Amino acid sequence: MILGKSIERWQQEYPLLTEIINTNEVFWINPQYQAYNDAILKISLTEADVKAADERLKKFAPYIAKVFPETKEQGGIIESPIIRIPRMKKQMEEIFNQEVICENLLLKCDSHLPISGSIKARGGIYEVLKHAEDLAFEFGMLSREDDYSVLDNDIFRNFFSHYSIVVGSTGNLGLSIGIMSAKLGFNVTVHMSADAKQWKKDLLRSKRVTVIEYQSDYSKAVEEGRRQADNDPKNYFIDDENSMNLFLGYAVAALRLKEQLKDLKVVVNKDHPLFVYLPCGVGGGPGGVAFGLKLIFKDYVHCFFAEPTHSPSMLIGCMTGEHDKVCVQDFGIDNITDADGLAVGRPSRFIGKTMINLLSGIYTVKDNMLYRMLSVMADTEKIFVEPSALAGAPGMFNLFMTNAGNKYVIDQGLPDKIQNASHIIWATGGNMVPQSEMSNYYQKGVDLFSSSKLNL
């Protein structure tokens, strides 16, 4: 029994659940998707909040440029390139045996964000900076008028060393929070789930971050982190499941993307829709980015989340409306996937509730598909990203090759505009993966192509 109902009852109510439980790939269109003007009324966060986060990151930019020299060229702004990937498009069309007519297929390379090489360098670093600023303001050590590069100083490092930051993570959030917190001088502890890769733990320990390892999944790591921070005012817990600051840090991406698209002469308007495919774990990263994109492009942008077939937590949460009250294990799904960044069995309620009327849909991807896409991306575009980061790659084909996808295009009034569309695959991580590990990923993809035909 799950929330008082048998699995059979759940399946009757939500026929797609049978496919989900069988870990088949599915494409779910969100029946609660609404026009922007209606949907946005129900959300308390606004564009002003995102702009304030953007301003805060600009204030910190001189400091970031100083302590992370790799960001100097960009003036301490942590941002990633967006590029056209025509060779990848052509190769995927052959693999899927489906031509896609569109104006642009783009790759957003958050895999190559400086400092921590994943989308977590947005939200994670933002939240640590915000917390440092709050503390420094509270004790009169810093004011809004100051040049924040003064933070690169032993007086501040000593001050922050009296405070702790704690987080639970499958790996990449831990990297971002750990690296940033240690740089400022905080004591920082990362609670790592069993999915977390050894090299991430080693890297953090080399930066004097305390790493605690668990044999269980992400939810347990978060729970332990939360417990550690409980009842200690000097101990700040970064709550990946509920944090508004993480969310806003991610959302800033949209303001920057708007300018990047302008530079690339990519048009988004009534006749030129934009489709964005975002890998989803607990939901904060893709949720924040999608929220920002909706603020800017409103009804002209269509956001889809992508999850592994073995970790469809946001899908089950949104489809049933139960959000964090259900987890994939309740339905007999094991939450075991090589997409470690997406290995989350229970979704964020905050994200599910915030995004429920703004999100176009969610689809699932098999791990083998992620590996295949990884090797194709490497072969065609010479870009190496981690398995999680490829979940967005098949999105465009899912849209065009499923009944649900075709129906969405019709229902949204897009059939005569779809050929003018741009599609963005949001690549969420990979730049810091050690070469030997990346070679293994790549080889897995290559082997899958040679050992069998792509079984769609």
Footprint of ligand PLP (CB under 6 A): 118-120, 172, 279-286, 341-342, 386, 388-389, 428-429
Shortest distance in whole angstroms from residue 138 CB to ligand PLP: 28
Is 378 in contact with 447 (CB distance < 8 Å)? no
- Given phi > 0 = left and psi -120 to 50 = alpha, else beta, which region is 454? beta
- Give CA–CA dist 215/418, Å, rounded: 46
The label of the residue with tokens 């929220």 reads 291
Whose Cβ is closer to ligand PLP: residue 284's or residue 445's?
A: 284
- CA-to-CA dists, residue 83 to 87, 134, 165, 228, 260, angstroms: 12, 36, 35, 42, 10
Whose Cβ is closer to ligand PLP: residue 185's or residue 249's?
A: 249
- Give CA–CA dist 29/31, Å, rounded: 6
- Give CA–CA dist 188/256, Å, rounded: 30
Shortest distance in whole angstroms from residue 107 CB to ligand PLP: 14
The label of the residue with tokens 């400086």 reads 114
- Give CA–CA dist 305/287, Å, rounded: 9
Whose Cβ is closer to ligand PLP: residue 110's or residue 322's?
A: 110
- Give CA–CA dist 160/377, Å, rounded: 42
Shortest distance in whole angstroms from residue 452 CB to ligand PLP: 26
Whose Cβ is closer to ligand PLP: residue 266's or residue 343's?
A: 343
Shortest distance in whole angstroms from residue 124 CB to ligand PLP: 9
Whose Cβ is closer to ligand PLP: residue 128's or residue 136's?
A: 128
Whose Cβ is closer to ligand PLP: residue 279's or residue 352's?
A: 279
Shortest distance in whole angstroms from residue 4 CB to ligand PLP: 28
Whose Cβ is closer to ligand PLP: residue 135's or residue 391's?
A: 391
Burial track 141-161 (b if 16+ CB lie within 10 A, e otherwise): ebeeeeebbebbeeebeebbe
Whose Cβ is closer to ligand PLP: residue 281's or residue 405's?
A: 281
Shortest distance in whole angstroms from residue 249 CB to ligand PLP: 11
- Give CA–CA dist 328/284, Å, rounded: 18
Shortest distance in whole angstroms from residue 295 CB to ligand PLP: 18
Whose Cβ is closer to ligand PLP: residue 108's or residue 372's?
A: 108
Is 278 in contact with 303 (CB distance < 8 Å)? yes
- Give CA–CA dist 364/307, Å, rounded: 5
The length of the chain, given as a count of residues: 456
Is 347 in contact with 313 (CB distance < 8 Å)? yes
Shortest distance in whole angstroms from residue 162 CB to ligand PLP: 30
Strands 104-109 and 301-308: unpaired
- As given in the structure block, the two tokens for residue 234 are 């000097």
- As given in the structure block, the two tokens for residue 342 are 């997406």
Residue at 390: amino acid letter: L
Whose Cβ is closer to ligand PLP: residue 61's or residue 238's?
A: 238
Shortest distance in whole angstroms from residue 429 CB to ligand PLP: 3
Shortest distance in whole angstroms from residue 388 CB to ligand PLP: 4
Shortest distance in whole angstroms from residue 386 CB to ligand PLP: 6
Whose Cβ is closer to ligand PLP: residue 339's or residue 409's?
A: 339
- As given in the structure block, the two tokens for residue 265 are 């002469």
The label of the residue with tokens 């502890």 reads 189
Burial track 36-52 (b if 16+ CB lie within 10 A, e otherwise): beebbeebebeeebbee
